[in-house]
Chains A and B, each alone.
Chain A
Amino acid sequence: MTRLAATLLALAALAALSGAGAEAAEPAPSAMVQVPGGEVALLFPVEGEDLVTVAPFAIDATPVTNAQFLAFVRAHPEWARGAVPRVFAGEAYLAHWGEDGGLGTADPDAPVTNVSWFAAAAYCEARGARLPTEAEWELVARAGERLTDGYLEPGYRERVLALVTGRAAVPGPVGRGEVNAYGVRDMHGLVWEWVFDVGAAMNTADSRAVGDRRLLLLCGGGSTGASDTSDYAAFLRYAFRSGLSGDYAGGGLGFRCAS
């Protein structure tokens, strides 16, 4: 056999080995996008504060994937399914993975779902990052295809609503969906995403009123005090967040990190 053939053969073998051992290889680190910050109008403005100022920050370009989360669990086995206490991750935690603790039939490049807030926060922390705040996430989500304020683009609300309601029951791989004006992908079309202060819209300084603000999302009360009553995707998103507790893990809920 010639040296060239042998080299090619070795390279092919190496590639095959890498393919087979994809689960064990470290996934590529998430690309992050710098967001210049700005002012964002939350769907339910807190009294006296129409706009929330957000300082410049960085956010993952795509949601965290199954492969990336697996590497985290391997490095931090206290977050393996079955090892983590129930209070930090509900019964459905990583339910879509294999029995042996690997990915099973789950797509390595799909966003990781069935993760609780605690697990998501721990992942970001292990990376030296954090979960984005609701204001940061909403600032990025507000971007359209060309403009950082998607409301200025005709048909923006309908496009976002179609992305949200058209999600597949099992999300596909990250990085192939819609990209917005910041260069951030898959904000609407794949999964719901955890934020750091998931109950923020529901909290005010007066703790007696906490229950009342949550009621804003129920029975039409949600239209009073909302900053834009025709942004149905935002209503769906805020309604989803309002029902969450830290240990909840579901098949349609993933996350990305910020710093």
Chain B
Amino acid sequence: MTIIPAAEIAAVETRAEAAAAPESARAPRQGARWRGLMLPLALAAAWFALTESGAVSSQIFPAPQAVLRDLWRLTANGQLAGHIVITTWRVALGFAAGTLAATALGAATGYSRRARDLLDPTIQALKAVPSLAWVPLFILWFGIFETSKIALIAVGVFFPVYLNLMTGLQGVDRRLVEVGLVNNFGPFDLIRHILAPATLPSYFTGLRAGLALGWMFVIAAELMGASQGLGFLMIDGEMTGRPAIIVGSLILFAIAGKISDAFLVAVGRRVLSWQDDFAALQDKERA
């Protein structure tokens, strides 16, 4: 048995500890979080200044205090929570359905050339269909209630998740796959131990893009005869001439989208902590 000298082990151990140290520092520091709030706060200040000075008509662009007042009124009478919950629920269901379908089809077309030849041209063609073009068909198929809305959101979520998963699978480093092959991996082991983990970074990118599109598609979905939801609230503000409600809904969409994205980022950071990439280097420098 050949034993490596202790001095060499100690040297590499030191290197290992040095590399491992920033692991806990990967979470963004408090300062970075505050930096992210600077631009929205500056925009809010500019908005306040513009409306207070009378440079912009409040009928076109309502003052921030008017938006806050209307949102507070909706909060106090309990309506706002209902709108937020139903919209979030629709996005969550649409995201789950779209992700499930995209994962199944993306995995099939990414792994199997035969499945790719068979399915991918059609899926790519459907990707080019504008979101609103699905609305009449879904109303015809599913009616104007929840199923058609969730189906539309699922369509929005589907394409980025599908595309990122398929291209991620195809882009897995051939050299890593060969390690599986020389170790006699069958398809199941190859997928479980090499292809799936190697594809995760690309998959998470797809999930984030899909979720963002889910929030965009929920507006179109709530145009389909909704009586509740942030999209409905926005349309209601338009119909009743209340620009503060429209702007308030926009802001709530942005906040909800950001919170859900931050959740995905946090999960991704945990799952992909092994990545030795540019972001890890920046985290190390910051630590």
Decide whether A and B are members of one complex.
no
Chain B: residues with CB nearer than 8 A to chain A?
none
Chain A: residues with CB nearer than 8 A to chain B?
none
